[in-house]
């Protein structure tokens, strides 16, 4: 019997690394956020608030038009940030932490106005 060939080096057969949240600061308001690429096929760049939500708070956040994510913490595996879609929510109470996507409280700076200058070239 012949030995199986190992998979090519470019093929990553390990667990996905992209959905592992990293603690960062929001570049706009400097609030602490969790940043990860949530999803396996078409990953979404997520900045989520690191504070867990209860059922009532999650409902309020979802009605406000924000997304929620499941922060899976396991003692032997790295944490993962997963999108809470309608099937995940319909499954009942999540045993993991539920967090919401980040919304900056700081308002955007006004656009810079061009300096006054001549109206014509000549």
- Does residue 13 fall inside a structural domain? no
- Does residue 89 fall inside a structural domain? yes
Number of structural domains found in the chain? 1
Q: Which domain holds residue 68?
A: 22-100
Calculate mean pLDDT across residues 21-42.
Answer: 84
What are the tokens at 26?
């929001």
- Does residue 114 fall inside a structural domain? no
Work out the pLDDT band at 16, boundaries 50, 70, 90.
very low
- Does residue 83 fall inside a structural domain? yes
pLDDT at 90 (0 to 100):
83
- Does residue 64 fall inside a structural domain? yes
- Does residue 5 fall inside a structural domain? no
- Does residue 58 fall inside a structural domain? yes
* Alpha-carbon distances, residue 42 vs 19, 28, 74, 105, 122 (angstroms): 12, 25, 24, 28, 53
Work out the pLDDT band at 12, boundaries 50, 70, 90.
very low
- Does residue 77 fall inside a structural domain? yes
The mean pLDDT value of the chain amounts to 79
């Amino acid at each position: 019997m012949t030995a199986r060939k190992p998979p090519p080096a470019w093929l990553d057969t390990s667990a996905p690394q992209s959905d592992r949240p990293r603690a960062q600061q929001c570049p706009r308001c400097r609030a602490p956020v969790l940043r990860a690429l949530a999803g396996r096929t078409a990953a979404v760049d997520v900045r989520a608030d690191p504070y867990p939500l209860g059922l009532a708070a999650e409902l309020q956040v979802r009605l406000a038009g924000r997304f929620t994510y499941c922060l899976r913490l396991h003692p032997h595996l790295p944490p993962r940030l997963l999108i809470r879609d309608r099937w995940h929510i319909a499954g009942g109470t999540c045993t993991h932490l539920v967090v919401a996507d980040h919304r900056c409280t700081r308002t955007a700076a006004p656009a810079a106005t061009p300096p006054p200058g001549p109206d014509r070239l000549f």
